Amino acid sequence: MDSAAGPVHYQKLLLWELGLESDEEEGETSELLVPHLWRLQDSSRNKAGGLPGARARLLTALLLLAVGISLAVRQLQTSGSSTGSFGSVAPPPTGHCHLPGVYHHGAIISPAGQELLVAGGNVVDAGVGAALCLSVVHPHTTGLGAMFWGLFHNSSSGNSTAMTSGPAQMLAPGLELPATLPALRLLHTRFGRLPWPRLLWGPTLLAQEGFLVDPPLARALAAQGTKGLCPLLCHADGTPLGPGSRATNPRLAAVLHRAALAPTPDLTGDTLLSLMASDLGLEAPSAEPMPSLEPALQLSVPQGILFTTPSPSAGPELLALLEAALHSGAPSTDPCPPLLQAAKTPVSSVLATIDSSGSVLLLTSSLNSSFGSGYVSPSTGVLLSNLVTKSATSAWACPLIFLGSPDDTEADVLGLVASGAPSVTRAMTSALLRHLAVPQTQAQHQHQQEPRESPSACVQGTLLQVTAHAEHAHVSSVPHGCCPFQGF
């Protein structure tokens, strides 16, 4: 996290601890990093009662040495707590360090979110803020028009909560009602720590000042074409933006700015819907989003408890596959368990965040196809999702959390979330079974390496894994290195 450069202030040194008295007023508490040398020399001469020049210079030298040592110690303490942008951070003051993906406090698998953790936010703050940033920079897989599922485990209360943006509802023929903003706002209102406007600052800035098109977005644009996406994601001649091109979305920035000022989740959604209704020639939206928070679906197994999202997500089917595999008692010769059958493979986006105490947030979202409906609301800059049947199962949504023991506050917590439906259930099942098969005595040596490459044969998308183990947060992914992670 960058900050503006300026003078560094430190607490004023207590000079009387060195046998000298300070001539500063008692009310002062800080001074600039570089002291005025002439003041130190005058003070030494006067307080010594007119000592010879050699003795005064000796006392001045000792005083400057003490100042230098004190400032050096303070600087080392400050640098020891600083964080980097990606990978493992600098070693803490204790001097030990970790492999990439292992952190003392918290971590997130996403291009954004670390600064919210460092600012004192919890995993919900980091996850929601990162999801909003992705809605700006990855409009082909997610956005304010997408449907979200979330799974949150609170290590303090021991409760696990599922979040849904509600059943699919029609905004206009072929267009799905956008529910992202009210759903994420509801999640933050219930479990977040930082002020809501703080989470909107990053994505608003990205939309207003622009972001660089990354290779996944560029590939999606090249494959999709620019019909309906200009001028948002096109050059002046109508060709799609390529990797490294700068894209802006000022209309979306304005919506996010208004949403930051909305006092309630309902008004957060109304901010978007009123503008979209005008774009579509509607007097008023035909429906309103119905996000909900409810207890997570759970399954007790000999090794602990599994949590996932309820129907119409793929969570129930995933638990059925896991229960059958665990009760079989025999290892499967097929490294990839059976998968959910789905009529189509929607494009989805995933992220995961965890802290060292075991609180986990997993989020997954989808527009049901690349760039959703392809319709960009002119007043909002939002791509709307394709409308799907209300009863259709969200095969792309099956986040999973495993709690080693509900009675052990120090038990490992594992979070898994994947994209690439319908093969996600294969990868999730394979990763969990492998995790449960590892003896506890060996787990501590493998957390920084999991998940191994074996699930890569089971999924064409992405598998994210986060683990809280031995008061540390661990993050990894399949394919290895596919997704940036951050922590501190």
164 with 393: CB under 8 angstroms?
Answer: no
The model carries a pTM of 0.77
Both 39 and 163 in one domain: the answer is no
In a domain, 159, yes or no: yes
Both 17 and 165 in one domain: the answer is no
Both 65 and 108 in one domain: the answer is no
Residues of the chain by 3-state class (helix, strand, coil), percent to 5:
35, 20, 45
**CA-CA distance, 312 to 24, in Å (whole number)?**
69
pLDDT in tens, 72-85: 444 444 433 333 33
**CA-CA distance, 315 to 338, in Å (whole number)?**
15
In a domain, 425, yes or no: yes
**CA-CA distance, 114 to 87, in Å (whole number)?**
11
Per DSSP, 296 falls in state P
Both 42 and 151 in one domain: the answer is no
With a cut of 70, say whether residue 391 has pLDDT above it. Answer: no
More confident residue, 200 or 477: 200
The range of the structural domain enclosing residue 55 comes to 9-79
pLDDT in tens, 441-472: 444 444 444 444 444 455 567 889 999 988 89
In a domain, 354, yes or no: yes
Q: Taking residues 129-148, what's their average pLDDT?
A: 95
Both 333 and 466 in one domain: the answer is yes
pLDDT in tens, 76-119: 444 333 333 323 333 444 556 677 889 999 999 988 899 999 99
pLDDT in tens, 203-233: 999 999 999 999 999 999 999 888 899 999 9
Size of the chain, expressed as the number of residues it contains: 488
In a domain, 122, yes or no: yes
432 with 416: CB under 8 angstroms?
Answer: yes
Both 469 and 390 in one domain: the answer is yes
Pairing of strands 30-32, 462-469: unpaired
With a cut of 70, say whether residue 255 has pLDDT above it. Answer: yes
pLDDT in tens, 46-67: 443 444 455 656 655 565 555 4
Sheet holding 360-366, edge to edge: 292-295, 160-164, 147-153, 360-366, 348-355, 106-109, 485-487
In a domain, 200, yes or no: no
**Any idea which of 33-37, 291-295, 300-304, 393-397 has the lowest mean pLDDT?**
33-37
Both 389 and 460 in one domain: the answer is yes
Both 330 and 416 in one domain: the answer is yes
Both 422 and 346 in one domain: the answer is yes
What confidence category does residue 483 fall into, taking pLDDT thresholds of 50, 70 and 90?
confident
Tokens representing 434 are 């492998």
Both 156 and 21 in one domain: the answer is no
Both 343 and 424 in one domain: the answer is yes
More confident residue, 474 or 55: 474
Q: Taking residues 263-280, what's their average pLDDT?
A: 82
State the pLDDT at residue 118.
93
Instruction: Please identify, among 79, 111, 134, the residue that sits at the C-terminal boundary of a domain.
Output: 79
Q: Which residues lie below 8 Å from residue 270, measured CB to CB, with a gap of 6+?
A: 262
**Three-state DSSP class for 373?**
coil
What is the total count of domains within the chain?
Answer: 2
**Any idea which of 163-167, 268-272, 484-488 has the lowest mean pLDDT?**
268-272
State the pLDDT at residue 373.
93
Instruction: Please identify, among 45, 79, 113, the residue that sits at the C-terminal boundary of a domain.
Output: 79
- Report the chain's mean pLDDT, rounded to a whole number: 77
Both 165 and 16 in one domain: the answer is no
